[in-house]
A and B are shown apart, each in its own frame.
Chain A
Amino acid sequence: MEKAILTKEELELPVLEDHAMGSFIVFQGKVRSHSQNGEVEAIEYSAYEELALSQLEKIIREVEEKYRVTVYAAHRIGRLTVGETALVVATLSPHRQEGFLATMEVIDRIKNEVPIWKKEILTDGRAVWL
Chain B
Amino acid sequence: MMVNEKMVTVRFFGKLADLHGAQLLLDAKGKTIQQLLMELNVEGVYMLAVNGTLVPSNATLEDGDELAIMPPVGGG
Contact = CB atoms under 8 A, between A and B. Distances in A.
B14 interface: yes
A56 B42 CA distance: 27
A87 interface: yes
Nearest to B73: A115
B52 A51 contact: yes
Contact of A111 (B15, B70, B75): B75
Interface in A86-130: 86-87, 107, 110-119, 129-130
A37 interface: no
Interface of B: 11, 13-15, 18, 47, 49, 52, 54, 68, 70-71, 73-76
A27 to B, nearest CB: 10
Interface stretch (A18-26, A42-50, A63-71): A42-50
Interface of A: 29, 45-48, 50-52, 54, 75, 86-87, 107, 110-119, 129-130
A51 B52 CA distance: 6
Contact of A117 (B49, B54, B71): B71
Given A45-B75, A48-B49, A110-B76, A115 B70 contact: yes
A109 to B, nearest CB: 10
B7 to A, nearest CB: 20
A110 B76 CA distance: 7
A46 B52 CA distance: 16
Given A46-B13, A46-B14, A115 B47 contact: yes
4 interchain residue pairs of minimum CB distance: A116-B75, A117-B14, A129-B15, A111-B76
12 contacts: A29-B76, A46-B13, A48-B11, A52-B75, A107-B76, A110-B76, A113-B73, A115-B47, A115-B70, A116-B75, A117-B14, A129-B71
